[in-house]
Amino acid sequence: MTSSAPALATPFRLFEVRLTKRTVLSPTFVRFTFTGPELDRFADNGLDQRIKLLFPAGDGFATLMRSPDDWYTAWRGLADEERPPMRTYTIRAVRPHENEIDVDIVLHGLVGIASTWASTAPVGSPLIVCGPNADFDAFHGGVDFHPSARTARILLAGDETALPAIANILERLPTDARGCAIVEVPDAGDAAALPSHPGFDVIVAARPSGGSHGDALIPLVQEHAARLLDRAGGTATSGTAGGPAGALSELEDVDIDEGILWEVPNDESGDDVPVYAWLAGEAGVIKALRRHLVSERGIDRRSVAFMGYWRLGKNEQN
């Protein structure tokens, strides 16, 4: 009699959880604490680790949990009314010994699946989380912060959707790291949701009333990028700051209405890097910031990670 081989651990897996606590962090952010019987197997990678939350719809949860090894195929095969809506977030904290995780969510009111659920779901509400599997012993994926070991200064910049990731990065960086974190938020009080770091200037700017996304963020990044380059020994002029001029400072155009604005280089060359930039938020704003840093400031594009988390005027994506 032969026994079947054990199933191989996958990088990500589904976790059934329930909401156990809400903690108001600021005018815009609420921390949601979830518990689940298998959250001791939720890997704690920190930084900007992406996860997915699946919100209740029909009998979809039960169907997915019956197919844990191929849940995404099962999810796609569900009827629209049974398919749990899925949205991407950053895990904020993992407490495996307590079978708990935290997710910080931006509240926009009763607009969209995620914000409506976050605004109305009572304690005890069920949810499914797709997160990194602690039983998988290699790189899980979903972490896009990859500065060179020889980086002099770090620039973190984004809007409210990037704040939880920036908060995690700040908490995980060593105390001797140096740089600047800039976040544009709906309300000045949202600064309460962002931790400090002894080596970073942490700047939280409220979006002007009636203004557009990026109105506060873009000029601040332009200002502080020049200062970081100067402190790192770079030069805030095109083609000279982050490496040789030419191909490393040239950018192809990305149609953000049709394609995904997402590039996360991992420079393992061992070269000195004056400034490493991590940018995330509304795609149009991030595209403008990327162009400024690479084409105008001359930062090597291999040292700029940029992620269009969402696109103004388009529905939320998975």
The CATH number of whichever domain residue 208 belongs to comes to: 3.40.50.80
Claim to verify: residue 212 and residue 124 sit in the same structural domain: no
Does residue 139 belong to any structural domain of this protein? Answer: no
Does residue 5 belong to any structural domain of this protein? Answer: no
In this prediction, residues 93-108 reach a mean pLDDT of 96
Q: By the 8 A CB rule, do 242 and 285 touch? A: no
Determine the 3-state secondary structure of 280 from DSSP: strand
d(C-alpha 302, C-alpha 276), whole Å: 9
Domain range holding 235? Answer: 151-310
Specify the pLDDT at position 211: 87
Q: Where residue 281 falls among pLDDT bands split at 50, 70, 90?
A: very high
Q: In the listed set 80, 105, 132, which residue is the last one of a domain according to the structure?
A: 132
The total number of structural domains that make up the chain: 2
Q: What is the 3-state secondary structure (H, E, C) of 99-156?
A: CEEEEEEECCCCCCHHHHHHHHCCCCCEEEEEEEECCCCCCCCCCCCCCCCCEEEEEE
Does residue 239 belong to any structural domain of this protein? Answer: yes
Claim to verify: residue 167 and residue 291 sit in the same structural domain: yes
Claim to verify: residue 19 and residue 164 sit in the same structural domain: no
Angle between helices 217-232 and 283-291 (to 10 degrees): 30
Name the least confident of 146-150, 152-156, 168-172, 261-265: 261-265
In this prediction, residues 292-302 reach a mean pLDDT of 93
In this prediction, residues 133-138 reach a mean pLDDT of 95
Does residue 162 belong to any structural domain of this protein? Answer: yes
**Backbone φ and ψ of 246, nearest 5°:** 105, -130
**pLDDT averaged over every residue in the chain:** 88
Does residue 102 belong to any structural domain of this protein? Answer: yes
Specify the pLDDT at position 247: 40
Claim to verify: residue 108 and residue 180 sit in the same structural domain: no
Q: In the listed set 132, 165, 186, which residue is the last one of a domain according to the structure?
A: 132
Claim to verify: residue 165 and residue 127 sit in the same structural domain: no
Specify the pLDDT at position 260: 79
User: Over 70: is that where the pLDDT of 41 sits?
Assistant: yes
Specify the pLDDT at position 246: 39
Q: Where residue 306 falls among pLDDT bands split at 50, 70, 90?
A: very high
Claim to verify: residue 127 and residue 157 sit in the same structural domain: no
